[in-house]
Amino acid sequence: MTPDESAPPDVGDLAPDFALPSTQGETVQLLSLRECPVILFFLTDTFTFFSRGFSKIFEALHESLSMMEVRVVGVSTEPVETLCTFSDDQHIPYTLLSDFDRHVSRAYGTLTDRIAGLTMVTRAGIFVIDTKGRIAYRWIYDEEGPVPDADQIVELVSKLQSETSS
């Protein structure tokens, strides 16, 4: 681990709170989203093949996750203007946040000093955060493992929803 990388929070830990500018022109604070589970995912570089495919996973699930009252929020180290262009180009139906100063990527352990020729960017990652603000699931791309199965994530969120309502 380099000085710019930090250990990600574990399942069961409180999710690090943050406030970041969004593609909708507002500042989004994680703590304000606690009325429902949140799928927080990190994108490396928006216009790469991997990030386009990765974001399409959540685009495909957006309608069913919305009906389940789950918020999907993407985070990138790119400026808001770039994220707006990406969102318009890819018809992204969920919120994208700019972590241009890289504090959130560092707090979630996704910041890396070098990946695919890029410097000081975030690795792809997924965190499912329950209504108590705790991390219920964590995956960070490490080049070894596959991208998680979207159905498993939906199943986990569904389980969280049923635990909350009981």
pLDDT digits over 7-31, tens only? 899 999 999 999 999 999 999 999 9
Which of 46-50, 71-75, 87-91 holds the top average pLDDT?
71-75
Give the pLDDT confidence score for residue 104 in this predicted structure: 96
- Nearest-5° angle of CA 12, CA 64, CA 51? 70
Residue 147, token pair as written in the block: 């991208």
- Parallel/antiparallel/unpaired status of strands 135-140 and 125-129: antiparallel
Lowest pLDDT segment from 85-99, 102-116, 152-166:
152-166
Give the pLDDT of residue 66: 80
Q: What is the mean pLDDT of residues 101-111?
A: 93
> Where exactly are the structural domains of the chain?
19-24+32-165
Work out the mean pLDDT of the chain and round it to a whole number.
84
Which pLDDT value is given to residue 3?
46
Tell me the CATH architecture of domain 19-24+32-165.
Answer: 3-Layer(aba) Sandwich (3.40)
CA–CA dist 103, 130 (Å, integer): 22
- The residue count of the chain comes to 166
Number of Cβ within a 10 Å radius of residue 48: 14
Per-residue pLDDT at 2: 47
Question: How many angstroms separate the CA atoms of 16 and 57, rounded?
Answer: 24
pLDDT at site 165: 65
pTM (predicted TM-score): 0.86
Residue 111: phi, psi to the nearest 5?
Answer: -70, 135
Q: CB-based contacts of 3: which residues, under 8 Å, 6+ apart? A: none
